Structure 1
Amino acid sequence: MTIYRHSFLSALTVGALVFSGLAAPLAGAEEVTPVTLNILATSDFHGHISAVHGRGGALVDPGAAALACYINAERGRNPDTNFVAAGDLIGGSPFVSSILRDKPILDAFNAMGLDVSALGNHEFDNGVEDVSARVSFDGTGQAKFPYIAANITGADPAPAPSHIITTASGIRIAYVGGVTAETPSIVNPDGVVGLRFDEPVAAMNAEAERIAAADEADVIVGLVHEGVHVDSGFSDAFDAVVAGHTHRETLETGPAREGRQPLVVVQPGEYGRLLSDIDIVIDPTTGEISSVTASNHTADDIWTECGETPDPEVHAIVTAAEEAAAEEGQRVVATVPGAFLRGRDSADGETGGNRGVESSLNSLLADVALDSINAKTALKADIGVMNAGGVRADLAAGEVTFADAYQVQPFGNPIGTVDITGAQFIELLEQQWKPGQSRPRLALGLSSNVTYIYDPAGEQGSRITRVLVNGTPIDPAATYRVAGNRFLLNEGDSFTAFGTQTGSNTFTDTGLMDVDLFISYLAANPNIAPRHQQTSIGVHLDGAADDGSVTAGSEITVNLFSLSYTGGEPVAENVTVTLGDEKVTVPVDNTIVPTNDETGRASATLTVPGGSNNLILHIETDSGTVAELPLTVTDGPTQAPDHSAAGSTSALSSDVDMVSSRLGNFGYIIGGGIVALIALLLTWLHVR
């Protein structure tokens, strides 16, 4: 499709051209000065309005008031500045904002003069009615700025696909919005019934090309709540794209484009810790763009300029929110002797960065769900589950306040149950691997009465090799009652094996709220400690047959994975592998494996003993993890005859027999011919 862009000519310029008869510019005519557009962008702010400092006073979050000061300073330096966002401004927020339904962060962004934001998945945490009415799509609710998305259909009212802003210099910037197509699976599906979330890039391309063809804008910028890149298939109509959702930093410039500047894609991380800055230089008469560049300002950059001089209006909003939350939030509700942590992607990475690994905190919350249902209702569940994305802060050792507990799981989910078969539960475990998605694995927290073994090298949907519930192998045909939050049990995070959206199974809502049950559980278990036993470990056997059987007398190498946590809990140093009478102890490599649950690796080589068709592969770490995998043993190959004693009678007889056997009737024919020739020769000699 031809993209009609930058036909920007003012009436004054056109008149001048007509007057001069389209001749050369008048002598002494003033040269047009290019305009530099300054687009500042945030994403995944999640209500982090307060400035936060960590150990040694190191800055963690700059806070909304410092950010507002920085943006105002940028506007002072360049009046052609826009401030925009790529979604998830609200939802999954710390206590100070979430306890007030995120109104403080919306008030802060209103005061900052946010021009426009893409919708994020967390904007739908409380359902479409909440975001369309209370928050608002069109800037008439608590949000005084428009939320946009080109790929949402079925909403009434519906968000606009784009929003056009004219800058101080008269340049028209069109912002085209999009939100991840995964949204229905990562929010409570009940809240988005009737809405369709199409693939965002294609929908955004269509809207951008429409705007360009209609000459409605001079610059087109995408705001998409998805972890996109320069090679994600964006139309040439786009000059730049601001991404979000993955909480990562992106700063990319694409390849050269004929007649266009290369596409720039940025992503400003999370919580205001980065602020993306896109500069677009454009000729205001011809609309020709001569450069598009970008950078990401850090929290330290923001704090250095504005830490001591925060914006007074936003500072007042933050202070009021902090005071309103303080009294209830600081009430001590429990004490825990040890910390419960989330997973991370590297040794120096932040906890919570890796949702693909088992974590002590996610496991604890699964225990809370199971214990609470069984203690407070007559439903009597068998298994507890928890989704890693619902765990938003670590639980430190010592006194736990209401605010601490709330920050761990701030979504206000009711806890209930779903009845599924053992086969469905196995399928559920298989669905932790999500190839092609922004997070390739989402680990389920499971109650302590469940353990399983998986093969990391297995095909998609065929990795789980053994599941135990209460120490007994799971029965695929039996029914198990699973306890968890409404989001997850309603097939959130694409865990469709629960079957609640297809109608094959029903979510039973107890009305009990997750944070209330969490607090009650902590208070009732003052000596609670992180689980030592890993819920799952990976086992892959080199030397086994395709069906998993092993051969007596052969060597196998037992490759082990997921023997250790990644959050900072104690890890396994050694693992002992036992098969029959053979026992091997090897060290564990605890180098963190990002995005997947494979940290804590080891390999042990053993010889398969004979004498039994069934053996137990016993695995035990020095940190307390124990797992057993039954193995089927087959007999080795039949031993060939020993022909090493050359010239022996038995060897010779065997060789003759073998030759005779192979010659068969053909040998008799040859022998008869030789006898006939000898007879003829004797007759000839006798005649002579």
Structure 2
Amino acid sequence: MTGVALLAGAGLALSGAVAANAAPVTIDIVTINDFHGRLEADGSVAGAAVLAGAVDSVRAANPNTVMVSAGDNIGASTFTSFIQEDEPTIDVLNTMGLDASAAGNHEFDRGYDDLVNRVLPLADFPILSANVRHDDGSAALDEYWIAEVAGVRIGFIGATTEELPSLVSPAGIEGLQVESIVDNVNRVAGELSDGDESNGEADVVVTVMHEGAPASGPTTDIPADSVFGTIVSGLDSDVDAIVSGHTHQQYAGVVPFDPYQRPVIQAGQYSEAFGLLTLSIDADTKQIASFTPEVLPLTAEDADGESYPLYDADPEVQAIVDDAVAEAEVSGSVPLGEITADFNRAVGTDGATENRGGESTLGNFVADVQLWATTDVGAQIAFMNPGGIRQDLVYAANPDVSGDGEGVVTYREAADVQPFANTLVTMQLTGAQIRQVLEEQWQPAGASRPFLKLGLSEGLSYTYDPAAPAGSHIGTISYQGSPLADDASLTAVLNSFLASGGDNFLGFTAGTGVADSGRIDLQSMVDWFQEFGTATPDDAQRSVGVQLSAPANGGYLPGSTVGVSLSSLLFSTDEPKPTTVEIRLGDALVGTGSIDPTIVDGTDEAGRASVDVTLPAGIAVGAQSLTVTTPGTATSIDVPITVVAASTAGGSGTGTSPGTVGSGSTGSGGVGSGQELAATGAETGPMVAVAILALLVGAGMIVVARRIRVG
């Protein structure tokens, strides 16, 4: 434990930590994180055998080598590992000599019992977490592991992201508490440094945590107020180095605001790279003299842009991978059915990065499938979380999948979409609870993604105001074409992750009559294709952003103009891209506008338009509905408005109330802000001013530009 505040040089030397005549010992710590069962090579993903070859190379150069992982070795795995419950992944990690691992959130995908009773007995390495504890305060997993290397005792303390309860099914970690990383790592580090052999002692302490910085790049760019930044600055001087993960980023160095200037490192994801933390330790004092953290690639690209490995594959690990691939091909090559076009997840502005804030044809399709699979137990609507969808269903043939062809969906491809093996759960939700759940798409402050777009089953749709304050975004919710009342009750189906409040959708935990169907999400997809054979993407948007210009006098006047701002009219990938939006009143076309297809990262705002709708002079007074459509697609959303008769009576000059926002769940009632209009009378000639105002209002010549949420 150094507790030294200054570093210098590229091979960062600890000032004053050792005597001048010390004879340092070099110890290498190989780090990986977020491997996620990537057994096979795929482009920049080197695969398990090449990763093992890199570890072999480090060990050959320096026998004083330890290998650790910052977690998520398993879970969210590709098909070869997934179909065999990640046992091949555990086998290859055992074979390449992984010494210890932190417990990541995906280690808990199948629940704590599975981790303790199945995974741990298969692993030759401990899985560590100091901050995941039983309700009675006892440790749920080993908190630390000590390696003795060249006479130096290195203590590795594990820690798990504090977001764990929102990232896995809460039912799977029932009886566990996820406590502060800082408090618990400091506690264990203090015990390892207190001179009491009964609670373990270490010369050097390294925390291996499943939490990390939000972006790749220089460690000088890590925000001090980020989750990881507060952890780094909160760790005591007893902690000498930080190995991190979870955020799938690459960085190595020291953090400027760290009072103890320790090395921090994260090696990306999927065996694209590995971390190497080289420690020079004085053999007498057992203090760190200097350190060099670096992230090393496992592949490179040739002149044609093709990836090639930078290390020889380990033959023993390669044999395990080959056997696993052969086993998986037997199950994976079975055709399930066909698709007529791609089913995609939403993407960001770069056209490649997944955008979990965008509506997607695949998310909606998965919801449709799960609804179909549970109609026999009463399900009426379905919800799907975007993080539960890990691959697209692509029309083009995949040459890496035996038995695949154009439009063919194999078992492996279906499994890659939903790799978590969640069960389908039904529950009764009121209209008000559905509204709450939809509001929870806007995530709590501090969440890693500020917005998560739920996939919805066909027949369930809603409007929303993207600019509304928290808790007030959702406008009209419709079920089977009719507004959904707050006191209505529908039976919903969703996966067990969501049903337990995962991804901060706590509204689902208020559902009643909760029943686990026992049916697996992947199996529902298999059964659907066996029943129907072919799937075609639904190009209808099931939610649309709508804002209207504020009305006067509690409603819109015949002949007046209504400003309509729309968003979320388009999907973000290769789906049809209409260029215009049309608004109708009954059969009459009352407005058109051009659609801006620009994607807004992290949101569902792709496809925006502004349309001025002129209401017919002879329109009937009362409740009316504007229908929004995009030609060439099935998108159709009704927007309720209220039309009022033009007033011909003189006024006081103080204005009248424009009404209140409609109930939302019914879409009925007046729309407006409920605020008084500003006085329009002047100090002189008040009667003339009032008369002119009345004439202008009667002629429909006043347009209030203020925007309101659709009720």
Question: Counterparts of 1:111-190 in structure 2 under 5 Å?
Answer: 111-136=95-120, 141-154=121-134, 158-168=140-150, 170-190=151-171
Question: Counterparts of 1:70-89 in structure 2 under 5 Å?
Answer: 70-89=54-73
CA distance in 2, matches of 1:187, 1:564: 31
Q: Is the 8 A contact 1:69 1:306 kept in 2?
A: no
CA distance in 2, matches of 1:366, 1:468: 16
Instruction: Please say if 1:461 is aligned against 2:460.
Output: no
Question: Counterparts of 1:75-474 in structure 2 under 5 Å?
Answer: 75-136=59-120, 141-154=121-134, 158-168=140-150, 170-214=151-195, 216-228=201-213, 231-234=229-232, 235-237=235-237, 238-251=239-252, 253-255=254-256, 260=260, 262-286=261-285, 289=288, 291-301=290-300, 306=309, 309-350=312-353, 353-374=354-375, 377=376, 379-397=377-395, 398-435=407-444, 436-474=446-484
Structure 2 equivalent of residue 507 of structure 1:
514
Instruction: Please say if 1:64 is aligned against 2:70.
Output: no
Larger Rg: 1
Q: Alpha-carbon deviation of 1:469?
A: 0.8
Q: Give, as a single letter, the amino acid of the residue that structure 2 aligns with 1:389.
A: G
Q: Is the 8 A contact 1:498 1:505 kept in 2?
A: no
Q: Alpha-carbon deviation of 1:43?
A: 1.8
C-alpha spacing 1:551/1:295, structure 2 compared with 1 (3 Å) = farther
Q: TM-score, normalised by structure 2?
A: 0.76
For residues 370-429 of structure 1, what are the alpha-carbon distances to aligned partners after superposition, in whole Å with 9 as ceiling and x for unaligned?
11212xx2x232102222222222212211222222222122223231111111111111
Partner secondary structure for residue 478 of structure 2: strand
Partner secondary structure for residue 361 of structure 1: helix
For residues 467-489 of structure 1, what are the alpha-carbon distances to aligned partners after superposition, in whole Å with 9 as ceiling and x for unaligned?
11111111211110012222322
CA distance in 2, matches of 1:513, 1:90: 19
Q: Give, as a single letter, the amino acid of the residue that structure 1 aligns with 2:153.
A: R
CA distance in 2, matches of 1:97, 1:44: 14
| Unpaired segments ≥5 residues, structure 1 | 7-24, 53-58, 643-653, 659-688
CA distance in 1, matches of 2:94, 2:37: 13
Partner secondary structure for residue 363 of structure 2: helix
C-alpha spacing 1:656/1:489, structure 2 compared with 1 (3 Å) = closer
Q: Give, as a single letter, the amino acid of the residue that structure 2 aligns with 1:563.
A: L
Partner secondary structure for residue 233 of structure 1: helix
Q: Alpha-carbon deviation of 1:307?
A: 6.1
Structure 1 equivalent of residue 593 of structure 2:
586
Partner secondary structure for residue 154 of structure 2: strand
Partner secondary structure for residue 232 of structure 1: helix
379-388 or 357-366, larger mean C-alpha shift:
379-388
For residues 618-656 of structure 1, what are the alpha-carbon distances to aligned partners after superposition, in whole Å with 9 as ceiling and x for unaligned?
3322452222221345779988999xxxxxxxxxxx969
Partner secondary structure for residue 174 of structure 1: strand
CA distance in 2, matches of 1:308, 1:511: 45
Q: Alpha-carbon deviation of 1:554?
A: 7.6
Q: Alpha-carbon deviation of 1:250?
A: 4.6
Structure 2 equivalent of residue 616 of structure 1:
625
Instruction: Please say if 1:518 is aligned against 2:541.
Output: no
527-536 or 195-204, larger mean C-alpha shift:
195-204
CA distance in 1, matches of 2:281, 2:527: 60
Structure 2 equivalent of residue 561 of structure 1:
567
C-alpha spacing 1:124/1:284, structure 2 compared with 1 (3 Å) = same
CA distance in 1, matches of 2:553, 2:464: 15
C-alpha spacing 1:412/1:306, structure 2 compared with 1 (3 Å) = same
Partner secondary structure for residue 230 of structure 2: coil
Q: Give, as a single letter, the amino acid of the residue that structure 2 aligns with 1:146.
A: P
Q: Is the 8 A contact 1:227 1:438 kept in 2?
A: no
Instruction: Please say if 1:38 is aligned against 2:28.
Output: yes
416-425 or 176-185, larger mean C-alpha shift:
176-185
Q: Is the 8 A contact 2:130 2:185 kept in 1?
A: yes
Q: % of aligned pairs identical?
A: 36
In structure 1, which of residues 593, 601, 608 is the aligned counterpart of residue 608 of structure 2?
601
Q: Alpha-carbon deviation of 1:87?
A: 1.3
Q: Is the 8 A contact 2:45 2:272 kept in 1?
A: yes
CA distance in 2, matches of 1:561, 1:636: 34
Q: TM-score, normalised by structure 1?
A: 0.79
CA distance in 2, matches of 1:243, 1:453: 41
Q: Alpha-carbon deviation of 1:142?
A: 0.6
Q: Is the 8 A contact 1:337 1:526 kept in 2?
A: no
Structure 2 equivalent of residue 646 of structure 1:
none
CA distance in 1, matches of 2:308, 2:336: 39
Partner secondary structure for residue 348 of structure 2: coil
Partner secondary structure for residue 599 of structure 1: coil
Q: Alpha-carbon deviation of 1:192?
A: 1.4
Q: Is the 8 A contact 1:84 1:114 kept in 2?
A: yes
CA distance in 2, matches of 1:240, 1:159: 21
Q: Alpha-carbon deviation of 1:364?
A: 0.7
593-602 or 613-622, larger mean C-alpha shift:
613-622
For residues 574-606 of structure 1, what are the alpha-carbon distances to aligned partners after superposition, in whole Å with 9 as ceiling and x for unaligned?
323457988443333333322222222333455
Partner secondary structure for residue 627 of structure 1: strand
C-alpha spacing 1:538/1:655, structure 2 compared with 1 (3 Å) = closer
Q: Alpha-carbon deviation of 1:249?
A: 3.9
Partner secondary structure for residue 231 of structure 2: coil
Partner secondary structure for residue 294 of structure 1: strand
CA distance in 1, matches of 2:686, 2:409: 88
Partner secondary structure for residue 515 of structure 1: helix
The structure with the largest helix share of the pair is: 1
Q: Alpha-carbon deviation of 1:153?
A: 1.1
CA distance in 1, matches of 2:483, 2:78: 40
Instruction: Please say if 1:489 is aligned against 2:508.
Output: no
Q: Is the 8 A contact 2:130 2:143 kept in 1?
A: yes
Number of aligned residue pairs = 601
For residues 423-450 of structure 1, what are the alpha-carbon distances to aligned partners after superposition, in whole Å with 9 as ceiling and x for unaligned?
1111111111213211222221110111
CA distance in 2, matches of 1:108, 1:409: 23
Q: Give, as a single letter, the amino acid of the residue that structure 1 aligns with 2:158.
A: G
CA distance in 2, matches of 1:385, 1:44: 27
| Unpaired segments ≥5 residues, structure 2 | 5-18, 214-221, 223-227, 396-406, 654-683, 689-711
Question: Counterparts of 1:624-635 in structure 2 under 5 Å?
Answer: 624=633, 625-632=635-642
Q: Is the 8 A contact 1:5 1:213 kept in 2?
A: no
Q: Is the 8 A contact 1:250 1:267 kept in 2?
A: yes
325-334 or 505-514, larger mean C-alpha shift:
505-514
Q: Alpha-carbon deviation of 1:45?
A: 1.4
Partner secondary structure for residue 247 of structure 2: coil
For residues 514-570 of structure 1, what are the alpha-carbon distances to aligned partners after superposition, in whole Å with 9 as ceiling and x for unaligned?
2222112123333421111111122234x4379997688887653332222224333
**What is the alpha-carbon root mean square deviation over aligned residues?**
3.4
Q: Is the 8 A contact 2:299 2:309 kept in 1?
A: no
